[in-house]
């Protein structure tokens, strides 16, 4: 009983959050349907829900888009360029030092 409640709650949250990609939502609805059929009289309660739970144990996380202003994006780009330049300079100085000895 608790499993149905938690699955329904997860489905409700996903419906509110995901509107573009409904793949994960479809999988959860399939799980809920399979679990309800298995719990029904005459259904097999042992293997079906456990197998469904193992298939999608680690779903992909939704990557959040950063909402940056153009000024902040330019500032970050400048900072990263400076960091990369320092890293390149350190690599070239490290290469030239051992060969000079």
Hey, CA dihedral for 73, 78, 81, 86, is it positive or negative?
Answer: negative
Residue 61 lies inside a defined structural domain of this protein? no
Residue 60: inside a domain: no
Please check whether residues 89 and 47 belong to one and the same domain. Answer: no
Domain boundary among 35, 55, 75: 55
47 and 9 inside one domain: yes
Reported as half-sphere exposure (CB side, CA atoms, 13 A), residue 97 has a value of 6
Regarding whether 51 and 7 lie in a shared domain, the answer is yes
14 and 37, same domain (yes or no): yes
Rounded Cα distance between 60 and 62, Å, is: 6
How many distinct structural domains can be found in the chain? 2
Distances (CA, A) of 19 to 22, 27, 36, 62, 80: 7, 15, 25, 12, 34
Residues 81 and 48 in one domain: no
Q: What is the DSSP letter of 1?
A: -
What pLDDT is attached to residue 48? Answer: 52
pLDDT of amino acid 8: 87
Per run of 10 residues, the mean pLDDT along the chain (length 101 residues) is 82 74 77 86 56 61 86 96 96 76 50
């Amino acid at each position: 009983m608790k499993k149905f409640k938690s699955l329904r709650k997860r489905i409700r949250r996903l419906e509110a959050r995901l509107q573009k990609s409904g793949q994960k939502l479809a999988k959860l609805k399939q799980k809920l349907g399979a679990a309800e059929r298995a719990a029904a009289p005459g259904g097999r309660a042992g293997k079906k829900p456990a197998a469904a739970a193992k298939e999608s144990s680690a779903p992909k996380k939704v990557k959040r888009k950063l909402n940056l202003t153009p000024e902040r994006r330019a500032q970050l780009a400048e900072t990263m360029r400076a960091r990369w330049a320092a890293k390149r300079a350190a690599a070239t100085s490290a290469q030239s030092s051992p060969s000079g000895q």
